[in-house]
């Protein structure tokens, strides 16, 4: 599903560099990305998502060479094929729960906001226990509830790949487990690979394996 071959990337400022000879993530696989701060965990995620483009090598997701696409096509590919969950939630304060979940449809012209998408958003919000709060705004929700909204937004487009950048970093244990259970269930039902950056070693036993970016970065 995800294939990385001889990828090299470096920032012009700071001298940081990451080199990945080979990396593969199979359909339905759950992979943790670990390592010290500043060693490239988020960089790896952004390379997989096509946010960053390597200076050399190939990154194929579902058979598509993502870095070879134009900037606009990479954006469309992310919208159609990838669900991304961020530690800081990235919710818009002036939108309620449902409209925050449906935000990808309003931001990308390749996604069609129809009745099916709206019903899917409502079902996801209900599934994570927020059905009675779907018309509340982010400031009216707890941290754990806001992160559940962010997870629903990542899943509402029915992505083929799920990428998480410390999606449970700010959560209490109960909220953390709820978020991970939701991601696990979706991955299990759809065979979407799940790649999650985490510092939480209590979560590692849930993953099939862990990738330490220290092996790739310098």
Q: In what order do the strands lie in the sheet with 194-197?
A: 82-86, 161-165, 194-197, 30-34, 209-212
Please give the Cα distance from 166 to 87 (Å, whole number).
5
**Residue pLDDT, tens place only, 82-100:** 999 987 888 999 999 999 9
The better pLDDT of the pair 191, 176 is held by 191
174 in helix, strand or coil? helix
Please give the structure tokens belonging to residue 88: 């800081």
Buried b (16+ CB within 10 A) or exposed e, 196-212: bbbebeebeeebeeebe
pTM metric for this prediction:
0.93
What Å distances lie between residue 82 and 17, 53, 174, CA to CA? 25, 16, 26
Q: In what order do the strands lie in the sheet with 17-25?
A: 17-25, 2-10, 56-61, 64-65
pLDDT of residue 218: 67
**Residue pLDDT, tens place only, 177-202:** 888 999 999 999 999 999 999 988 88
Of the CA atoms within 13 Å of residue 102, those in its CB half-sphere come to 20
pLDDT of residue 102: 97
**Residue pLDDT, tens place only, 115-163:** 999 999 999 999 899 999 999 999 999 988 999 999 999 999 999 999 9
**Residue pLDDT, tens place only, 32-77:** 999 998 889 999 999 999 999 999 999 999 999 999 999 999 999 9
Give me the residue label for tokens 């779907």.
134
Q: What is the mean pLDDT of the chain?
A: 93
Give me the residue label for tokens 């970065």.
217
């Amino acid at each position: 599903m995800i294939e990385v071959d001889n990828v090299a990337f470096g920032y012009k400022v700071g001298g940081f560099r990451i080199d990945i000879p080979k990396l593969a993530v199979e359909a339905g696989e759950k992979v943790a990305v670990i390592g010290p701060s500043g060693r490239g965990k988020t960089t790896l995620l952004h390379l997989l998502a096509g946010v960053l483009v390597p200076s050399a090598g190939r990154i194929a997701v579902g058979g598509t060479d993502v870095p070879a696409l134009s900037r606009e096509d990479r954006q469309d590919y992310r919208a159609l094929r990838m669900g991304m969950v961020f530690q800081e939630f990235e919710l818009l304060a002036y939108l309620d729960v449902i409209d925050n979940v449906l935000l990808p449809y309003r931001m990308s012209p390749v996604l069609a906001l129809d009745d099916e998408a709206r019903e899917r958003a409502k079902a996801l919000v209900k599934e994570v226990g927020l059905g009675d709060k779907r018309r509340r705004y982010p400031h009216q929700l707890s941290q754990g509830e806001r992160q559940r909204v962010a997870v629903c937004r990542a899943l509402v487009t029915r992505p083929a790949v799920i990428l998480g950048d410390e999606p449970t970093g700010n959560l209490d244990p109960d909220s953390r487990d709820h978020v991970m259970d939701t991601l696990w269930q979706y991955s299990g039902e759809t065979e979407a690979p799940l790649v999650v950056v985490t510092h939480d070693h209590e979560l590692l036993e849930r993953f099939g394996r862990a990738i330490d970016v220290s092996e790739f970065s310098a």
